[in-house]
Structure 1
Amino acid sequence: MAGLFRSTATISAMTLISRILGFVRDMVLARVFGAGMATDAFFVAFKLPNFFRRMFGEGAFATAFVPVFTEYREQRSGEELQGLLAAVSGVLAAVVAGVTLLGMVAAPLLVWVLAPGFGDDPEKMALTADLLRVTFPYLFLISLVALAGGVLNTFGRFAAPAFTPVLLNVAMIVAAGVAAPYFERPIAALAWGVLAGGVLQLGFQWPFLRRLGMAVRPRFRPGHPGVRRIARLMGPSMLSVSVAQISVLIDTILASLLAGGSVSYLYYADRLVQFPLGLFGIALGTAILPTLSRLVSQGRDADYGVTLDRALRMILTIGAPATAGLVLLGYPILATLFQYGEFGAPATAATYRALAAYALGLMAFIGVKVLAPAFYSRQDTRTPVRIAVVALLANIVLNLALIGPLAHAGLALATSLASFLNAGLLLRALLARGLYHPQPGWPAHLAKVALAVAVMLAVAWWMAPGPGAWDQAGAGERALDLTLAVGLAGAVYLAIAWLLDVEEVRRAPRWLAGRLLEGRSGSR
């Protein structure tokens, strides 16, 4: 458990830097481009390669590659491990290169499928296709980045892969803030910034692979036994891991049929929810997959169950206050970050409605990141994919039911509800198969977290004025008021949780003190 906590904390620390820069990036985008035709076009052009990245790269590939690579590392020779990596990298590069070329050629058709509402505006459709041709090669680069990250994570090197996304944010900030005025269509600078970010990320991880002796030459060997196993595992998991991304794509298709700016509202709301999700949920999911895979490989079923239980408690401890905070303070956060220049109060209000709906599903989003790897670590991809299909179908039905009364916010709410269904069915399957048994103390843990969240909400409600006050305040006043509200509410939650002896909160200072001591001893 201590190892899982340390790994999660390390990834979270690196992710925090990336997420902060991500907010800076989005603030620059909102200030320079606002929420309109150009940003809708870019977000659609960026969303499609991001979707395929989840399928070929970070998501499905990692869930199939890490367990097999871990098994080779535990049970095979170093030469066999390098052979597996060479074969996997060669096959992955060839497949993704083919998909990339096909996507660039078929860009207009892909835009028509992904955003049919753009068809009424030929200029918007053409702009989106042009941007997509530039952003699509990012898929090839980031898939190789994901492979390198999977290798580093298996060796317990979590910091470098978690820091890598920082480089994409830096590239996009420079593109929007510096390069955009030099382009005939300023939004095109962002597409080139995405491509540059992919090159920087791949170059950054290469030296770390060399230190491990894993900087091997790719070889196209689709018949390699390890490659065949990874391919069999990856096929079903592509849908399972990508169900949330498929839901986002469906949201984009339907949002393109709504009023202008709807795609952008969903984007900015999703970005804000991605902060706690990336900072903790993805970090925990990234750390737990190699941990559970190792326990399964070693036959330590009891430790497997305890590790999973601790992870679920961590979800509640972090996810509950994050959800409550986003719902109550979402409007002030959006106004402080984005409400400048071309992004006015109406855009903030519209984005907040989507944010509140997404925030309600935060714990489910995080839960899926932990519960699905519990199956992948056992090389079981069939169960998650069956559940993912059910959740996806439910999401489509909910989209159609809620888009009428709630517009774009209905699409966000449907995604949240479908994610709860996904997480619930995964948990039920683990319980039914006897793979997970809740450890003693859950009722007390629930009560402690609920009490701490209730006190936190009371403080946040007392500190934060209504939307009108935030609209009228200047940038400095907004930032100060928001910092005080978030800081005090967060401190109150941590203090109450500490007094109530919530283990996850008690453990954090000990971990931080240990890291500081390690740093001091290492500098001597």
Structure 2
Amino acid sequence: MDESGKRRILMPGVIDEAERAEPPGEPETGLVPVRDPGDVADPGTADRQGPEFDEIGGAAQAAPPGVAHSSAVMAIGTVFARLTGFLRTAVIGAALGAALLGDAYQAAEMIPYTVYELLLGGLLASVFVPFLMKRRMRDADGGAATEQRLLGVVLLALAVLTAVAVLGADGLVSLYAGGYTGRQREVAVLLTRLLLIQIFFIGVSGLASTLLNVRQRFGAPMWAPVVNNLLTMGAGLLFLWVAGRGQTTGTVTDGQLTLLGLGSALGTAAQSGVLAWLLRSAGFRWRPRLDLRGSGLGEAARAATWMLLYIVVAQLGVLVTANVATRAGERAAAAAGGPAAGGGLAVYKFALVVFQLPYAIIAVSVITALLPRMSAHVAEGRRDLVRADFSRGLRVAAVLLVPLWLGMLVFAIPGSITFFAHGSLTPDGARRIGVVLMVFAVMVLPFTVHQLLMRVFYALGDTRTPGLIAVPAGLAQAATAFALLAFVPARQVVIGLPAAYGLFYLVGATGAALVLRRRLGGLDGRRILRALARMHLAALPALALAVAVVWAAGLLPGDRLPALLALAGGGLGGGVLYLVTARLVNVPELGYFTAMAAARFRRRQA
């Protein structure tokens, strides 16, 4: 398939179709960027809590339009990384369950990623991709010396950070899971110490991805997490085979935990090895250098102060969530009288992985298509085109996300039973995941709106405003989470945590919209609201059908088979009905997809 063919079947082609169908009005000039947008790359969502791959990173701004973002390899790699990540989560759930043992593993897995992101990952994602791109173009040696220095310093820093973190595992568990005591704490500390080894390999993967992005090799970083996911799934299945079902913190042995922890760490090491090998095949050869004078690395890091504020606030939200969820799970287990109860952090994390799937597969494609366009329009001073980009991107993403969030709301419980109720995770535990996922579902659109608004700021070269907006948003999230812990029964706290998570994005999106509305002369709000209303109207018949199918399936005996039938029948029937109804009520955004597909079909027939 040629490059133009690839474009037509992916999100950039849909954006092109929408742009042709919505001709611009009178030009509005005078838009001035705060700073060169090329100085700071896209940090992604900035609130990663585990190995779920962040597809945006620096790639969205590093790639020239029409090269990386129209690549079918990149898009398919993203889908496979997310789907295998979901399967990885299901396997870990089957191995450990959703009670205190599962909570301990989730806390231990979260810690290395958040420590890395706070101390190094944010810099790599938001600063060094554009910095290395510029050095590659301007330096006589193509930026080779700068890359050697960066790699030498980062590898040394990673080795020191990993060693210190492993030694300080006990303190880190106190920070992220301060309510753990007794055997629960021993399990968490052991798993954390094993998984902290990953920090070095997480860093190598991040740095290798950065250097591959600079060389415009975007497919490999999208596919490499699949290796990690598959190996971790293997470790989970091996644990389940060796230890058996229904293990708790009181019955599991240190040897069994070591098997699982080292297996998970091996997955991360393999991912970094694949990326390092691909970097070498791209022509990179490392020669250790630690002479930083004149390298410009310090200046690049200082340029990202406001971006790092945003990342720090988001990671503090992760810390608060972890503490509230683990303490609630511990209290629920104490009230129930055994470690088989609980179900705080594990339930939350399982639901979070499912919640992020629609955004990762759909909205990320829109973002990577829009960022180069918006940056180019900012350079031209065209506020009207930037405004149109945001409106068009949100509506194109929403035409798929609206039926998905409504479907998630209806199918959360049968879907969770279908995919999670296996091994050590009971149908009752899967139902709890489903209930939490129902609350998360309401946050799909606010989360996406916030992410798109942040990309407008990055296209403007403004990192200060997102950093400042994050502060009140983070305070709102933290206050809500702590209020849940103080006033809600322990077993119900985890159900409210998605609302606290979503509040960060609601407050952030509100503040961002107010600022950008003034800066861009509006955000095309009326068209967006009309489109969203029309999409939800088109989804109502499908929603009614899905509810009826789920209700009817619930009358059948058993758990897994009725859940599977509800998911398959209601999902397929509802999807077809949404397509028909959307056409009848004239949802033009869906027509952009069908028009592009029809044009491609005609070209094949010609």
**Could you tell me the TM-score, scaled by structure 1's length?**
0.86
Whole-Å separation in 2 of the counterparts to 1:3 and 1:218: 43
Rate the CA distance shift 1:99–1:8 in 2: closer, same or farther, 3 A: farther
Q: Is the 8 A contact 1:251 1:411 kept in 2?
A: yes
Residue 208 of structure 1 deviates from its aligned partner by 4.2
Larger radius of gyration: 2
Q: Counterpart of 1:51?
A: 114
For residues 518 and 88 of structure 1, the distance between their equivalents in structure 2, rounded to whole angstroms, comes to 48
Tell me whether 481-490 or 219-228 shows the greater mean CA deviation: 219-228
Write the deviation string for residues 170-205 of structure 1: whole angstroms up to 9, x where unpaired: 011110112565585434333223221222222222
Distance 1:322 1:267, change over 3 A: same
Do structure 1's residue 27 and structure 2's residue 84 form an aligned pair? no
Alignment match, 2:538: 452
Match of 1:85 among 147, 154, 173: 147
Greater alpha carbon shift after TM alignment, 147-156 vs 272-281: 147-156
- 2:418 alignment partner AA: T
Q: How does 1:418-497 map to 2 (within 5 A)?
A: 418-434=504-520, 437-438=523-524, 441-465=527-551, 469=555, 472-473=557-558, 475-497=560-582
1:338 CA drift (Å): 1.1
User: Match for residue 105 of structure 2?
Assistant: 42
- The answer to whether the 8 Å contact 1:315/1:363 transfers is no
User: Aligned residue for 2:168?
Assistant: 106
Task: Kindly indicate whether residue 269 of structure 2 is the aligned counterpart of residue 205 of structure 1.
Answer: no
**Pick aligned residue for 1:254 from 303, 311, 324:** 324
How much has 1:440 moved relative to structure 2? 8.2
Tell me, yes or no, if the aligned pair for 1:321 and 1:453 is still in contact at 8 Å. Answer: yes
Counterparts of 1:474 and 1:493 in 2: how far apart (Å)?
27
Letter in 2 for 1:311: G
Name the stretch that deviates more: 190-199 or 62-71. 62-71
* CA distance in structure 1 between the partners assigned to 2:378 and 2:141 by the alignment: 23
Q: Aligned to 1:117, what secondary structure does the other structure show?
A: coil
Deviation at 1:266, TM superposition (A): 0.9
When residues 514 and 171 of structure 1 are mapped into structure 2, their CA distance, relative to the original with a 3 A threshold, is: farther
After superposition, the C-alpha distances for 1:390-446 in whole angstroms (9 at most, x for unaligned) are 111011111133342342212221111221111221222222223874388435423
Compared with structure 1, are the counterparts of its residues 41 and 283 closer, same or farther at alpha carbon in structure 2 (3 Å cutoff)?
farther
Q: Cα distance, 1:297 vs. partner?
A: 6.4
Report the AA paired with residue 196 of structure 1.
Answer: L
Task: Give the deviation of 1:226 after TM superposition.
Answer: 4.2
The CA deviation string for residues 264-294 of structure 1, in whole angstroms up to 9 with x for no partner, is: 1112111211222322344544555566556
**Aligned positions of 1:121-270 closer than 5 A:** 122-153=182-213, 157-178=217-238, 181=241, 184=253, 185-210=255-280, 212-214=282-284, 216-217=286-287, 219-224=289-294, 226-241=296-311, 243-258=313-328, 259=332, 260-270=342-352
Question: Does the Cα contact within 8 Å between 2:176 and 2:323 map onto a contact in 1?
Answer: yes
* 1:372-387 pair list within 5 angstroms: 372-387=454-469
State the 1:51 CA deviation: 1.6
CA separation of 1:53 and 1:375: change in aligned 2, threshold 3 A: farther
Percent identity among equivalent residues?
A: 26
- Hey, which of these two has a bigger chunk of helix by percent? 1
Whether the 8 Å contact between 2:412 and 2:435 is mirrored in structure 1 is no
**2:208, 2:376 → 1: CA distance?**
19
Work out which of the residue numbers 8, 11, 15 in structure 1 matches 2:78: 15
**Quick one: distance in 2 between partners of 1:268 and 1:96?**
29
> What residue identity is the alignment partner of 1:189?
L
- What is the RMSD of the two structures over their aligned residues, measured on CA atoms? 3.5
1:327 paired with 2:337, answer: no
Amino acid at match of 1:348: A
Distance in 1, Cα, partners of 2:293 & 2:521: 33
**Counterparts of residues 335-414 of structure 1 (less than 5 Å):** 335-403=417-485, 404-405=487-488, 406-414=492-500
**Whole-Å Cα distance in 1 between the matches of residues 561 and 439 of structure 2?**
28
User: Secondary structure, in 3 states, of the residue corresponding to 1:433?
Assistant: helix
- Whether 1:115 aligns to 2:177 is yes
- Aligned 8 A contact 1:4 1:291 in 2: no
Q: Point out the more displaced range, 53-62 or 123-132.
A: 53-62
Preserved CA contact (<8 Å) 2:201 2:272: yes
* Contact 2:436 2:498 (C-alpha < 8 Å) held by counterparts: yes
Q: Distance in 1 between matches of 2:349 and 2:562?
A: 26
Give the Cα–Cα distance (whole angstroms) in 1 for the partners of residues 124 and 597 of structure 2: 32
Deviation at 1:240, TM superposition (A): 1.3
**What residue number does 1:2 align with?**
12
Aligned to 2:520, what secondary structure does the other structure show? coil
